[in-house]
Chains A and B, each alone.
Chain A
Amino acid sequence: QLQLQKSGPGLVKPSETLSLTCTVSGASISSSTYYWGWIRQPPGKGLEWIGTIYYSGSTYYNPSLKSRVTISVDTSNNQFSLNLSSVTAADTAVYYCARRGSGGRVFDYWGQGTLVTVSS
């Protein structure tokens, strides 16, 4: 059964870098069928797509965050990571990692969200 397990701090100081890692179990991140993505949701608000990565390292980023976002993949450890630099309070959100399945280019499995708060 597919599981997406996130790790990373729940509190980040303003101007610092938010770093999260999603470890995949029950599937190979190197499968040619799937892509892997990050989505966030500010408290009480809607969903925002951050970016998507393929096992080869090809990335697609939201232009609204592109200058601050890096998504990377580590196939040897079956995990992918998010780095968001120069954070502000506006980056406070629940962050989700998810798998983009083979049907419809959409996220069919989501990990449990992690609230990341940006505060000094």
Chain B
Amino acid sequence: DIQMTQSPSSVSASVGDRVTITCRASQGISSWLAWYQQKPGKAPKLLIYAASSLQSGVPSRFSGSGSGTDFTLTISSLQPEDFATYYCQQANSFPRTFGQGTRVEIK
């Protein structure tokens, strides 16, 4: 199985801050990576697919980059509605695996 490791596990930030979350795969996954946002009690929401493609309807302050084993999700200017937990997921091979999550908290 491909292990997905996110860092940090949590981050405290203020509205307007730039936030960066990283995800590392235990082996190369090309660009087969997605990012999801999950708020308490809600289903995950797809933000980014294919490492850097923005899902329809997702604000442009979200961006993704990377390929191979190292990936980044960036929120350029944190908004109040962005406080949530973020997960990466590899789609290169089965079984599909997720990172452990990064919680973005209010500073």
Contact = CB atoms under 8 A, between A and B. Distances in A.
Nearest to B1: A63
Nearest to B43: A110
Interface residues of A, number: 23
A27 interface: no
Given A47-B98, A112-B43, A104 B34 contact: yes
Nearest to A96: B43
Nearest to A110: B43
Contact of B98 (A48, A60, A103): A48
Nearest to B96: A49
Contacts of B7: none
Given A46-B101, A49-B95, A49-B98, A110 B49 contact: no
B96 A108 contact: no
Nearest to A97: B43
A20 to B, nearest CB: 14
A60 to B, nearest CB: 5
A62 interface: yes
Interface in A64-120: 64, 96, 98, 101, 103-108, 110-113
Q: Which of B1, B42, B43, B94 has the most CB of A within 10 A?
A: B43
Contact of B50 (A46, A61, A62, A104): A104
Q: Which of A52, A62, A107, A113 has the most CB of B within 10 A?
A: A107
Contact of A106 (B46, B95, B97, B99): B46
A61 B95 CA distance: 7
B91 A46 contact: no
Interface in A21-51: 46-49
Interface of B: 1, 32, 34, 36, 42-46, 49-50, 53, 55, 87, 89, 91, 94-101
Given A106-B34, A108-B46, A112-B43, 10 more contacts: A47-B36, A47-B89, A47-B101, A49-B98, A61-B95, A96-B43, A98-B43, A104-B53, A106-B49, A108-B49
